[in-house]
Structures are given as structure tokens and as C-alpha cells.
């Protein structure tokens, strides 16, 4: 007897083609957003350089080749200015060293006490000379910040003494001794530090370095009085905005999330100010009233804090007056020592309209080089292969490389080219012929 066994097949219901299309569209959308947000299609390139055709500038670019080579950020995230800025803001640097320094205290005429940290060189300088870097950090920053520690350690190993200003009120464990803290362009504390270095080390030459807000302060310091340029070999400014008055309009825009960054920085400033509440709003304060404190609590932007608090430290009558008088844009043209200005095109804090200031300056003044990178964010400039950044950044390398070139130039330049007299090149050429 034949038995017939019937085979049973279970057929899965066919998924609608539209559902597969939706999955593909969702994946494509996610990939598109990732590519756009991480800016993965953006090319890498050398910095865009603006400078005049001079013997010194050609020597500097030849002796500091990193300025003419591609800056290559980490592949997966380094082309995003936001991620570069966020990593700088959150971590500062990776595997940051701990250089040993001595803290110095300088009494000011108004009762304030300026502080800075002094770090001695860890090697002989290549020129055989005594050279000191005087460094001004970014807004609310000090010598204990990771990006400052990394830069100081790198500079010490190259033979530089480093003096790092601690912005008045920025160190959490140092109390204010007068009802005043740091502002956008006050140069008093930086001038006191430089004066101390010049007096203590009469043979030393100075390298002036400023980061972000510190870049504004050092350029204003050098330009507001030409005697401040004595014994200064050069100045380097990184990621500053040049004009607070022009910057304030861009900080209220949502373009590049600038309004959000404005809120975060305002919140940090509020914490710093409130940590010194008794000194700033106490019995000894004649410039602040209770209403100012109330407005501080509700402030959501740096402009509101500047208008209600910061401008009053120096008696400015309006926010416009405060920004005008404390911006280096009105002083920077007076700088005659070699000046390197570095910015990043994807810096979310510095609007590209502000970059016409350094570019125009470099076009007009032969002592200025303006370097604009495609990537780097705000004080990021991380380097690395794919994911993990290196401890030392492009920014650290380019500053020390440029400064090394300046020191080399000073040692071997023709006698007819004296410091600050680069226009004598024609005279040099005539004497050679």
C-alpha cells in the first residue's frame, strides 16, 4: 500500500516593497546626516596664508614648514568644528602633562592681586639665548587648564621659560582682593606679569602668545603703547575675534549654533562672578548694586553680563563704549614686531566676517602673517589618524615652530635688518649689489 506524504510549506508573508524602501530611506537619511554633521566630505588642505612678499616672511615659511603643509584632523570627527570645540571645551587635551611651576603674586594699584605661574625651561634653547614666553589664556582660563599645560610642557622641552597669566578671578582657590575681575580687554595684569619678567630676567627676550580672549589682550597690550614691544621678538594670537562690537551681533545668531555657545559661556561667566560675590557685591564695592546681581541671575548671554556687570569695572558708560575701548582692532595696527594670527574657518565662535580684520592687516603690514585653516574649531586643532587624537595638537606645533624660526632669524639676520625695521630690506639688497 502506497502512502503519499504531503509536504507542508510555510510561506512567510511578503513584506510590502514600500516598507523596504522606507528602511533604505531611513538608513540613507542617517548616513546623510552623519556625513553632513561630521563634514566628512570636506577636503584637507594647507592653511590659507595671507602675507607680504618679504625676506623675513619667506624665511619664516621655509623654516616653519608646518604652516605650508596640510593640516589633517582625525578622520571620523576632526572635520567638525563643533566636535573639535566640544572636545577642547570638555577635555582640553588628551593625556595632558603636569608641568611644575611656581605661582607668583603681584599687588596692583587698585588693591587687586594678579597671579601668574612661572615654568623654567627643561632644555637649552636652540639659539643659546634666554627666551621667555608670556602667555595669556582664553576667557576665564588659567595655567591649570589642560590645553595650557600641554603647550607649556611642549615649550619647556624646546628651551623656553613660560609665564602664564591666571585671569583675575578665574582660579577657584584664589580670592579677589578688590571688587574687580578680568574683562575682555584689560591689560593691567598682563602688563604687570611682563614687567616682572623683564625686571627679574634682564637678559631675556620675550615671545608673546595669546589664546582666544587672551589673543585680544596681548595684541591690545602691544599696540596701545609701543614701549610694550621692547625686547619682544614676536607675537602669536590664536582664535581671537578682534572686535567685540562686531562679534556681539553674530553671537545672537543661531547660525553655527552660536547663540547656544553664547548661552554656555554666559553660564560659565555667571559661575565665576558668583563665586566672588562677596568681593564684587559686598560692602567694599561702590560700582555694583543689588539690582546688578538680580540681572546677573537672569542673564542668558555674554552681552547681558557685559552690560550689567563687566563694563562697570572700568567705568564704561555703555556696552558699545566697553566693546570699542577693549577690542584690539583699534590697536593691532601699531604692532611692528613679527605677528602671526591664526584662525580656523570652522570656528563656531568666530564668525567669518570678523576674519576680514586679520586678512586686511596682513595685506597692509609686512610684519603680519595670517593663517586660516579649514578645520580646527575653537582652540581644537587636534591631529590623529582615525578616531583618537594625539596629545600634541597642530596649534602647539605651529606656535613653537614659528617662534623657533623667529629666534633663528634673530640670530642670523643681516645687520641692516634690525628688529621692527623690516622695511630696510631694500637697503640690504642695495648693499649686496
Q: Which residues are catalytic?
A: 212, 347, 378
Q: Residue 233: name the closest of 339, 387, 327 by CA.
A: 339
**Is the separation of the CB atoms in 174 and 247 below 8 Å?**
no
Angle between helices 188-200 and 213-224 (to 10 degrees): 70
**Is the separation of the CB atoms in 180 and 309 below 8 Å?**
no
C-alpha cell, 181 = 575681575
Residue whose C-alpha cell is 502506497:
2
C-alpha cell, 315 = 567705568
Long-range contacts of 48-51 (CB under 8 A, 24+ apart): 48/345, 48/371, 48/372, 48/373, 48/374, 49/369, 49/370, 49/371, 49/372, 50/358, 50/359, 50/362, 50/363, 50/369, 50/370, 50/372, 51/362, 51/368, 51/369, 51/370
Q: Which run of H or E residues covers position 341?
A: strand 339-344
**Is the separation of the CB atoms in 247 and 285 below 8 Å?**
no
Q: Give the number of other CB atoms < 10 A from CB of residue 415.
A: 8
Q: Give the number of other CB atoms < 10 A from CB of residue 42.
A: 16
Q: Which run of H or E residues covers position 19?
A: helix 17-38
Q: Is 36 exposed, middle or buried (0-12, 13-18, 19+ CB in 10 A)?
A: exposed
C-alpha cell, 404 = 623657533
CA of residue 205 relative to chain centroid, distance? 23
Q: What is the DSSP string of 193-216?
A: HHHHHHHH-TT-EEEEEEETHHHH
Q: Which residues pair with 60 in a beta bridge?
A: none
**Is the separation of the CB atoms in 295 and 312 below 8 Å?**
no
C-alpha cell, 164 = 602664564
Amino acid at each position: 500500500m502506497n502512502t503519499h506524504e504531503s509536504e507542508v510549506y510555510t510561506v512567510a508573508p511578503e513584506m510590502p516593497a514600500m516598507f523596504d524602501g522606507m528602511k533604505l530611506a531611513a538608513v540613507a537619511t542617517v548616513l546623510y546626516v552623519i556625513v553632513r554633521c561630521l563634514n566628512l566630505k570636506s577636503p584637507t588642505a594647507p592653511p590659507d596664508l595671507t602675507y607680504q612678499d618679504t625676506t623675513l616672511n619667506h624665511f619664516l615659511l621655509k623654516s616653519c614648514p608646518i604652516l605650508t603643509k596640510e593640516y589633517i584632523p582625525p578622520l571620523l570627527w576632526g572635520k567638525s568644528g563643533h566636535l573639535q570645540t566640544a572636545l577642547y571645551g570638555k577635555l582640553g587635551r588628551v593625556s595632558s602633562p603636569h608641568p611644575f611651576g611656581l605661582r607668583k603674586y603681584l599687588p596692583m594699584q587698585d588693591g587687586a592681586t594678579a597671579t601668574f605661574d612661572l615654568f623654567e625651561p627643561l632644555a637649552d634653547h636652540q639659539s643659546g639665548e634666554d627666551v621667555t614666553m608670556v602667555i595669556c589664556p582664553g576667557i576665564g582660563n588659567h595655567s591649570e587648564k589642560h590645553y595650557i599645560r600641554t603647550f607649556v610642557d611642549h615649550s619647556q622641552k624646546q628651551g623656553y621659560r613660560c609665564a602664564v597669566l591666571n585671569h583675575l578671578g578665574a582660579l577657584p582657590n584664589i580670592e579677589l582682593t578688590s571688587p574687580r575681575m578680568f574683562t575682555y580687554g584689560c591689560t593691567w595684569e598682563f602688563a604687570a606679569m611682563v614687567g616682572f619678567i623683564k625686571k627679574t630676567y634682564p637678559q631675556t627676550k620675550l615671545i608673546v602668545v595669546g589664546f582666544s580672549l587672551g589673543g585680544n589682550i596681548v595684541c591690545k597690550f602691544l599696540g596701545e603703547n609701543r614701549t610694550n614691544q621692547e625686547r619682544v621678538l614676536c607675537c602669536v594670537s590664536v582664535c581671537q575675534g578682534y572686535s567685540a562690537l562686531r562679534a556681539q551681533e553674530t553671537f545672537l545668531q543661531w547660525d553655527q549654533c552660536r547663540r547656544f555657545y553664547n548661552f554656555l559661556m554666559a553660564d560659565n561667566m555667571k559661575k565665576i562672578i558668583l563665586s566672588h560675590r562677596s568681593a564684587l557685591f559686598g560692602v567694599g564695592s561702590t560700582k555694583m548694586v543689588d539690582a546688578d546681581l538680580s540681572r546677573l541671575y537672569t542673564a542668558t548671554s555674554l552681552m547681558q553680563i557685559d552690560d550689567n556687570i563687566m563694563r562697570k569695572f572700568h567705568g564704561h558708560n555703555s556696552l558699545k563704549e566697553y566693546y570699542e575701548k577693549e577690542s584690539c582692532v583699534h590697536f593691532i595696527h601699531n604692532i611692528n614686531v613679527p605677528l602671526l594670527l591664526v584662525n580656523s574657518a570652522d570656528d563656531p565662535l568666530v564668525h567669518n566676517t570678523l576674519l576680514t580684520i586679520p586678512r586686511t592687516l596682513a595685506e597692509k603690514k609686512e610684519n603680519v602673517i595670517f593663517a586660516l585653516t579649514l578645520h580646527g574649531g575653537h582652540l581644537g586643532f587636534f591631529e590623529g589618524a582615525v578616531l583618537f587624537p594625539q596629545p600634541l595638537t597642530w596649534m602647539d606645533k605651529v606656535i613653537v615652530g614659528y617662534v623657533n624660526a623667529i629666534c633663528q632669524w634673530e640670530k642670523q639676520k643681516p645687520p641692516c635688518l634690525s628688529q621692527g625695521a623690516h622695511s630696510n630690506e631694500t637697503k640690504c639688497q642695495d648693499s649686496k649689489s
